[in-house]
Chains A and B, each alone.
Chain A
């Protein structure tokens, strides 16, 4: 209820600090004196109401109280819902579907009610205030700066590293290995060579699950996700199927580079594809009949390029929209991919199942620096 109407001169130059032992001082006067000692001038501090106990003030008081009570009620609703509402997941449309929304609504509204109660209290009931505080920009004087600088230089002088070259060299040579030794175990353990042979074979960077060498030299079958092999008649004309290497765990993420798309091209498209394949040094002889197999791992960022458009023979990667033309060695025709999809050379074994005649002839997956 304190009204201050002395916008300037209240704390003029040379004014004596207030004597705080004076019993006539009101609490606000002490507060204002404290602020002054922090170079803060409380310019305005006045009630938002014309007098005490106005109707407007009472009404705001009531709404603040109401908001707090509402918060309490909603908090109670939250607790009740949390404990008694059926929450365990059941199939179909059940009341448990509403567990999370009920929690959210009750807790959210309860917190909002508390928030608005406090905000209303602060904004509508507390006196309006304008205070001015000095920034004290230039804190240190030139002398202080000089003293600090000279103190630091003095330390350097005392150590005299400049005129003791022996110590300089010894410190450098002595501390560098120690610093490296501290870092080495933290970082060194993480470093893995991508080129280290794995179990006596090529590094996995250039190898997929279709490599016959780890499979005891036997050609690796193309299988479905459940491990069953595939016959040519299993794929209808124009159809496609995702195949995996027919080895243990071949369809798991352990062989994340191996998923392959086996496509049964229509006769006309197949002729075009064969002409393109046989005209290419690396892909020569990789097709079997009208069937062609390309790596499903996009050469751009490694997503599975899984959307096959039968009419145009395009393969689209849904991550960054690279498009590959299957009938032209899966060369990229749109989007950010710059490299064609590697082709898996396939044939049919004596039992009539698809096998890979060798591993991929190019590195599979996203591009990298040392790709040959």
Chain B
């Protein structure tokens, strides 16, 4: 009897074959492995948000193992001496225990908080990238809307999250949230009473926020992120214009081997940065704030940075109260306008923007090539306007700290913010449009006349002129033939043309052979147009 030899080397092949017989995965897997992704540094901003979200899920699960979302009052008897004997909610006490009595607990708490801050920041920067390059245009309107919904969910996740420890600062935030609910006309008191289970603060809110923060909102985020990525996959990524790149192809790297590996390395790097921040930079030191007391607040009470714009708008709002003289009289408090109407508009108007722009431009086509911000001056202007508005509102959210540190009158800061909020955004629009037009003109100038060489010549008649290096062919007199603008970087310096040798690379010692002229997809070499057409028509 012959014993069959067990062939270890054949195991992966056999397993793969078995899998394919049952699930028919080989063909779709080939497509997946081969999928081409265009590469540019600005396409990685959304990835930072995704990676921070993964870190949030990991660290958040750890925190739930120790946190107790109960508002039952107890006397603290833990490791932090300054608060011993103080009456506080169980939620706050368990957050203190998490910081002081769980090995590595403070590290995880700070990692969770920093990851949340990075999540929001990278979402905003990613959104700015998508906006300023026109990546939201048809057919990607749905993904733009999902992106804004993701920001709103992130905002809610952040707010419910930093309310959970029930410290002095988060209680104040909850109090303001309750006031915002109360300010809604007609139903305000009902909304507040229903959410808080009676009058503020009640005994339910931390438990309710807890389930929202650990289940409902992350569930929504996870679902929307899946759809967001699925759509990116289905519709394929946009790309910058460049040699060989058209509206109907994707030029880049296949997912494997290089692209996926780079993503993995980038995830580790983001995770590493968050870990460094979590270890080195203190965030939300709840033990300094004390438990929430309705009668106590300190100055410099600021929310997390992505909520500060809203706090700023609330601070800047003039005291305009609307009284309706019906019956005993009804009131619309001034808080309603910035906090409910303002926030609602800030989330819904941007959702409409792709359709507004398409309508204005009478643009019904699908766009897969990105636009440089300078090539869409009006859009860039609108973006600059929105960004200025956001920055002024955010700065105003900390105007008391600025007033204190720089010895400025607090009232002057408020008035400065009020006036700035009205005047500066239109100014930013005008400035951005002018800069865009100027940059456009400079591009066209170089395409028409060539690059300035810095060489001054003197003609026999005594005239001085600068020699220009044409970018393309010249006519019989040596004048450059005008080139069309291709929607991408126009070289404006001689060293970008290879007229100067590229710098020798290497940090401690140079590599033996200087690198060739840049060939990365983001920095394509300059080639004449005919060649590009040949590549595309060859397809």
List the one stretch of B62-70, B153-161, B297-305, B355-363 in contact with chain A.
B297-305
A194 at the interface (CB under 8 A from B): yes
Instruction: Verify if A335 is at the interface (C-beta below 8 Å from B).
Output: yes
Q: How far is the CB of B315 from chain A (nearest CB, A)?
A: 5
Interface size on B, residues (CB 8 A): 116
Closest chain A residue to B299, Cβ basis: A318
Residue from A103, A205, A251, A316 whose CB has the most chain B CB atoms within 10 Å: A103
A296 at interface by CB-CB < 8 Å = yes
Shortest beta-carbon distance, A136 to chain B, in Å?
8
Residue A50 CB within 8 A of the other chain: yes
Instruction: Give the chain B neighbours of A336 by CB distance below 8 A.
Output: 314-319, 334-335
The 3 nearest A-B residue pairs measured at CB: A104-B279, A8-B538, A108-B276
- The chain A residue sitting closest to B505, CB to CB, is A56
The reply on A72 being an interface residue by CB < 8 A is no
CB contacts (< 8 Å) of B178 on chain A: these are: 302, 366
Q: Tell me if A253 and B292 are in contact (CB < 8 A).
A: yes
A132 and B36 contact, Cβ closer than 8 Å, known pairs A116-B265, A303-B297, A321-B400: yes
A304 at the interface (CB under 8 A from B): yes
What would be 17 A-B contacts, judged by CB atoms less than 8 Å apart? A40-B36, A43-B535, A87-B103, A101-B279, A105-B280, A118-B262, A121-B261, A133-B249, A297-B294, A302-B178, A319-B172, A321-B400, A334-B414, A335-B315, A337-B319, A366-B183, A369-B185
Chain A residues near B (Cβ < 8 Å):
7-9, 12, 34-35, 37-38, 40-43, 50, 55-56, 82, 87-89, 91, 99-105, 107-123, 126-135, 137, 190-195, 204-205, 225, 242, 244, 251-253, 255-259, 296-297, 300-304, 306-307, 316, 318-322, 332, 334-339, 365-372
Contacts of B214 in A (CB 8 A): none
Q: How far is the CA of A242 from the CA of B294 in the complex (A)?
A: 11
Which residues of B have CB within 8 Å of A194? 189-190, 192-193, 199
Say whether A193 contacts B250, CB under 8 Å.
Answer: no
- Chain B residues 262 to 292 lying within 8 A of chain A, measured CB to CB, are 262, 264-280, 292
Contacts of B261 in A (CB 8 A): 118, 121-122, 126
Q: Which of B174-224 contact A (CB under 8 A)?
A: 175-176, 178-180, 182-190, 192-195, 197-201
Of B175, B276, B292, B519, the residue contacting A105 (CB under 8 A) is B276
Give the CA-CA distance A213 to B60 in the complex, in Å.
Answer: 47
A89 touches B80 (CB 8 A): yes
- Contacting pair B294 A192 (CB below 8 A): no
Chain B residues in 8 Å Cβ range of A113: 272
> Are B294 and A122 closer than 8 Å at their CB atoms?
no
A135-B193 contact in complex given A118-B261, A252-B73, A301-B175, C-beta closer than 8 Å = no
Partner of B279 from the list A50, A105, A133 (CB cut-off 8 Å) is: A105
Q: Are A126 and B258 in contact (CB under 8 A)?
A: yes
Chain B nearest CB from A112 CB (Å) reads 4
Beyond the given A122-B262, A336-B316, could you list 7 further A-B residue pairs with CB under 8 A, ordered by the A residue number? A116-B269, A129-B253, A253-B201, A256-B175, A321-B410, A337-B334, A371-B331
In the complex, how many angstroms separate the beta carbon of A206 from the nearest chain B beta carbon? Answer: 10
Chain A residue nearest in CB terms to B190? A194
Nearest A residue to B235 by beta-carbon distance? A135
Residues of B within 8 A of A193 (CB): 190, 193
Q: Is the CB of B314 within 8 A of A38?
A: no
Q: A133-B36, A259-B294 are in contact. Are A111 and B519 (CB under 8 A)?
A: no
Say yes or no: is B257 at the interface (Cβ < 8 Å to chain A).
yes
Contacts of B512 in A (CB 8 A): 55-56
Q: A253-B292, A318-B400 are in contact. Are A40 and B34 (CB under 8 A)?
A: yes
Contact A104 B295 (CB under 8 A): no
Q: Name the B residues within 8 Å of A56 (CB-CB).
A: 511-513
Give A55's nearest chain B residue, CB to CB.
B512
Question: Do the beta carbons of A104 and B104 come within 8 Å of each other?
Answer: no
How many whole Å from B435's CB to the nearest CB in chain A?
Answer: 33
State the CA gap A305–B176 with chains docked (Å): 13
Q: How far is the CB of B476 from chain A (nearest CB, A)?
A: 32
B106 at the interface (CB under 8 A from A): yes
Asked whether A107 and B334 contact (CB < 8 A) given A34-B34, A122-B262, A135-B368, the answer is no
Given A112-B273, A336-B315; A117-B183 close (CB under 8 Å): no
Nearest Cβ in chain A — how far from B327, in angstroms? 9
Q: Hey, which chain A residues are within 8 Å of B73, CB to CB?
A: 252
Q: B485: CB under 8 A from chain A?
A: no
Q: Please report the C-alpha to C-alpha distance between residue A6 and residue B185 in the assembled complex, in whole angstroms.
A: 70
CA distance A116 to B180 in the complex (A): 46
CB-CB under 8 A from A135, the residues of chain B are 236, 247-250, 368
- A253 to B293 CA separation, bound complex (whole angstroms): 6
CA distance A83 to B302 in the complex (A): 36
Is the Cβ of B519 less than 8 Å from the Cβ of A128?
Answer: yes
The answer to whether B36 touches A8 (Cβ under 8 A) is no
Chain A residues positioned under 8 Å from B182 (CB to CB): 365-368
* Residues of A with C-beta under 8 A to B171: 253
B172 touches A303 (CB 8 A): yes
Which A residues lie within 8 Å of B333 (CB)? 300, 338-339, 366-368
Q: Which residue of B lies closest to A337 (CB)?
A: B319
B31–A103 contact, CB under 8 A? no
Chain A residue, CB-CB nearest to B33: A34
Q: How many Å from the CB of A140 to the closest CB on chain B?
A: 14
For residue B22, CB closer than 8 A to chain A, the reply is no
Knowing A109-B276, A369-B332, the reply to whether A256 touches B172 (Cβ < 8 A) is no
Interchain CB contact (< 8 A) of B79 among A42, A88, A120, A127: A88
Least distance between B283 CB and chain A CB atoms (Å): 11
Q: Which of A42, A316, A319, A367 contacts B301 (CB 8 A)?
A: A319
Quote the shortest CB–CB distance from A126 to chain B (angstroms): 5
Q: B539: which A residues are within 8 A, CB to CB?
A: 8, 41, 132, 134
- Give complex CA distance A95, B190 in Å: 52
Report chain B residues within 8 Å CB of A251: 295
